[in-house]
Amino acid sequence: MMTYYDDLDNDEKRVTAFFKAIEKKVHGICYDLGTGSGILAKKASKYADYVYAIEQNPLIADKTRKNLDKYDNIKFIQADATEYQFMENIDVVICEMLDTALIDEEQIPVINNVIKYAADNTEFIPMAVYSTIELINSKIMGICYYEDEHPKYTSLSDEVKYGMIKLNQYNKPEYEEDIQIKVKNGGLLNAIKITTYTILTDEVILEPTPMLNPPLLIPVEQLNVDEGETITINLKYTMGGGLNTIQTTRRYNK
Ligand SMILES: C[S@@+](CC[C@H](N)C(=O)[O-])C[C@H]1O[C@@H](n2cnc3c(N)ncnc32)[C@H](O)[C@@H]1O
């Protein structure tokens, strides 16, 4: 039976993009935080002097430890990376605990811990993420992911970029922004779509893949909108806090 970790490892677009960044950036002492099956740690071991692979999930830990034991320059550590005390100098941090807008996984709490131990020149894979917001019409009952082209929706605007989060620094987990979006196609606005893009290197920007950052559809108070008008959405959430922290308020522009 295929597991979640098999699906992650088989997501070729995701893995290829991370491998490109690892080939370019990994050297010296490298930490792979949330190593999962260890797929990124194994790749990193070709370029690093030593790799520490940290994972907290007991359901995968034993298998990954066994798997990584065969590598002379990888040490597996079962620990919570939000609290782990890093003892070595850190040249490179790999951390793929990404989720759409960084809301539902622990990327930000983990980065906010490791940054206390990092040097000015520590490299981070990924470097940053940003998201876009799009006005849509969709028959959704609540917040949901958009996967395999479901649920269906009609787009009422272009994607508007917001929320660039650099992952080589401390970030306040609470995020809030008023975002202005111009209506391209008039209709009944009742939801927004959030799409997240991952900046792995200056050249590699990764859009959602089958196992990474499925776009989020979020209901908003409904309104008939006309082509050309500007709508302001206040978007609020806690990065690492879970989907139930998301709040949207449609500001009155009319
Ligand atoms: C999306 S998976 C990615 C796994 C692997 N990095 C990869 O790219 O295939 C995220 C992993 O991070 C682990 N994780 C989540 N929070 C963690 C934490 N606080 N400390 C250590 N591992 C964590 C999860 O158990 C999961 O294995």
Three-class SS of 139-207: CCCCCEECECCECCCEECECCEEEEEEECCCCCCCEEEEEEEEEECCCEEEEEEEEEEEEECCCCCEEC
For residues 253 and 41, the model is more confident at 41
CB atoms within 10 A of CB 254: 7
CATH number of 129-251: 2.70.160.11
If you measure from the C-alpha of residue 32 to the centroid of ligand 1, how many angstroms do you get, rounded to a whole number?
9
Confidence of residue 1 (pLDDT cuts 50, 70, 90): confident
Burial-class residue 150 by CB neighbours within 10 Å (0-12, 13-18, 19+). exposed
Could you give the C-alpha distances from 80 to 56, 57, 127, in angstroms and in order?
5, 9, 22
Could you identify the atom of ligand 1 that is nearest to the CA of residue 57? 25
* CA proximity to 155, closest of 135, 182, 175, 173: 135
**Strand order through the sheet with 29-33:** 74-78, 50-55, 29-33, 92-95, 123-125
CATH number of 4-96: 3.40.50.150
**Which residue has its alpha carbon closest to ligand 1 atom 8?**
96
Q: Give the pLDDT mean for 26-32.
A: 98
Q: Give the pLDDT mean for 115-143.
A: 98
CATH 3.40.50.150 location in the chain: 4-96
The answer on pLDDT for 252 being more than 70 is: no
CA atoms within 13 A on the CB side of 12: 0
**Which residue has its alpha carbon closest to ligand 1 atom 10?**
97
Could you identify the atom of ligand 1 that is nearest to the CA of residue 94? 6
If you measure from the C-alpha of residue 36 to the centroid of ligand 1, how many angstroms do you get, rounded to a whole number?
5
- In the chain, what percentage of residues exceed pLDDT 70? 99
Residues within a 6 A CB radius of ligand 1: 8, 34-37, 39-40, 54-57, 80-82, 96-97, 106, 110
If you measure from the C-alpha of residue 3 to the centroid of ligand 1, how many angstroms do you get, rounded to a whole number?
14
Q: Give the pLDDT mean for 235-254.
A: 90
Confidence of residue 92 (pLDDT cuts 50, 70, 90): very high
Length of the chain: 254
Instruction: Tell how far CA 181 is from the center of its chain.
Output: 23
If you measure from the C-alpha of residue 233 to the centroid of ligand 1, how many angstroms do you get, rounded to a whole number?
32
Could you identify the atom of ligand 1 that is nearest to the CA of residue 98? 1
Could you identify the atom of ligand 1 that is nearest to the CA of residue 54? 21
Per-residue confidence (pLDDT) for residue 180, from 0 to 100? 97
Per-residue confidence (pLDDT) for residue 251, from 0 to 100? 80
List, for residues 197-219, the tens digit of each pLDDT value. 999 999 999 999 999 999 999 99
Q: Which two tokens stand for residue 203?
A: 């050249």
List, for residues 35-91, the tens digit of each pLDDT value. 999 999 999 999 999 999 999 999 999 999 999 999 999 999 999 999 999 988 999
If you measure from the C-alpha of residue 220 to the centroid of ligand 1, how many angstroms do you get, rounded to a whole number?
31
Per-residue confidence (pLDDT) for residue 232, from 0 to 100? 97
Contacts of 229 by beta carbon, 8 Å cutoff, 6+ apart? 182, 183, 253, 254
Separation CA 40–CA 88 (nearest Å): 20
The answer on pLDDT for 154 being more than 90 is: yes
CATH 2.70.160.11 location in the chain: 129-251
Per-residue confidence (pLDDT) for residue 250, from 0 to 100? 87
Q: Give the pLDDT mean for 101-121.
A: 98
Separation CA 19–CA 32 (nearest Å): 13
Per-residue confidence (pLDDT) for residue 87, from 0 to 100? 86
If you measure from the C-alpha of residue 160 to the centroid of ligand 1, how many angstroms do you get, rounded to a whole number?
29
Could you identify the atom of ligand 1 that is nearest to the CA of residue 18? 8
Confidence of residue 253 (pLDDT cuts 50, 70, 90): low
Indicate whether this model's pTM tops 0.75.
yes
* CA proximity to 254, closest of 226, 235, 234: 226
